[in-house]
Amino acid sequence: MPEITVGKENSAPIHLYYEDHGIGKPVVLIHGWPLSGASWEKQMLALLGAGHRVITYDRRGFGMSSQPAIGYEYETLSEDLNKLMLHLDLRDADLVGFSMGAGEVVRYLGKYGKDRVRKAVILSGITPYLLKSTNNPTGVDGSVFEKLKAGLAADRPGFLHAFLQDFYNFDTLEGTRISEHALTASWITAILASPKAISDCVQAWLTDFRPDVLRMDLPTLIMHGAEDRIVPIASSAAVLAKSMKGAKFISLEKAPHGILWTHADKVNGELVEFLR
């Protein structure tokens, strides 16, 4: 099983599981909460078919990576990404972040620069700053995140099942763009993640990435579902697109948060074209 060691907690090393397939220009896919690198299934096939080298990895606490009780803030998470980039000696790479994974992309570029990166893609991203404040009036009220944490503490399995229904807008897209089996597969992935990671990452979503965005000067694609119930487009992608001159911004009609699955046809087409 391919993995790298990114740290240590007490007596145990912290490992990141990754997959590295294909040849060509490298593309690193960074998954969202509460899933794993396996959530890129449809994009991996499309990118391999387009002649790319495709790398996915499981964030610490998720999938087949170690489940430490530490490191669920973006300083550490972006450092984990940097260690993977160095371990594989990736150069001229494209970084693609979905949802929470957008945070790793933006913080990595803000902290380590673009020496190893060619292009960036933000899909359903939480960037640039999700929390509503006096200087961020379009953000999401803090009480929403407190309810998320309370729901996880009270009944994590039940809460995640309900969350994933909104993740995919299951009430309107079932049978057309997602099946009950696909929803169940996501729930199984989510329930196997570390309870500590699941909870701590909610707090990490409130990171202010605006200073990092100011340091991003590379070709960027931003794509978001117009009917995203998890990360409202007006609080995220629309703001990010305005702050990044020259970025390509695509709003997907009638699309939910989980566009990697429900709108894979559109996502894959735009992704392959942008990374060509």
**What value does the CA radius of gyration of the chain take, rounded to a whole number of Å?**
17
Q: Find out whether 191 and 160 touch, Cβ atoms under 8 Å.
A: yes
- Is residue 99 part of the annotated active site? The answer reads yes
Tokens of 40: 């890129």
Pairing status of strand 220-225 against strand 117-123:
parallel
Instruction: Find the helix or strand (DSSP H, E) in which 108 lies.
Output: helix 101-112
Count the alpha carbons within 13 Å of 270 in the hemisphere toward its beta carbon.
Answer: 22
34 preceded by cis ω (within 30°)?
yes
Task: Note if 228 is an active site residue.
Answer: yes
* β-bridge mates for residue 97, sequence order: 30, 122
Q: Number of C-alpha atoms within 13 angstroms, CB side, residue 198?
A: 23
Catalytic residue among 228, 235, 236, 263: 228
Cis before 128 (ω within 30): yes
- From 99, 186, 194, 235, the catalytic residue: 99
Identity of the amino acid at 15: H
- Which tokens go with 140? 């999401």
Catalytic member of 15, 52, 224, 257: 257
Cα-based distances in Å from 203 to 49, 58, 114: 37, 19, 27
Give the active site residues. Answer: 99, 228, 257
